[in-house]
Amino acid sequence: MDDADLARMVRDALSYVGGLDESYLRITCHDGVVALAGVAFTHSQRREAENVASRVAGVRRVVNEIAVVTPSGA
């Protein structure tokens, strides 16, 4: 499996994380190492994104660089 396929699989898996909008995330892969960057709205979403990504077949390690931000008006 190549890096692009792995990134697609991780993005697909993340689409099922409740409340997390994967369009706010950048997912890069290199040799089974997945880097997650972008924003989440809660610390729980950030942790769940890392957990979900780590369970995708072919992922060896996850580097979680997702920032937690509060939506405007909250």
What pLDDT is attached to residue 74? 54
Residue among 43, 19, 13 nearest 64 (CA): 43
Question: Domain with 38 in it: what CATH number?
Answer: 3.30.1340.30
57 part of a folded domain: yes
What pLDDT is attached to residue 35? 98
Q: How far apart are CA 47 and CA 43, in angstroms?
A: 6
73 part of a folded domain: no
32 part of a folded domain: yes
Q: How many domains does the chain have?
A: 1
pLDDT digits (tens, 9 = 90+) for 28-73: 999 999 999 999 989 999 999 999 999 999 999 999 999 999 877 5
pLDDT digits (tens, 9 = 90+) for 4-24: 999 999 999 999 887 888 888
11 part of a folded domain: yes
What pLDDT is attached to residue 34? 98
What pLDDT is attached to residue 23? 86
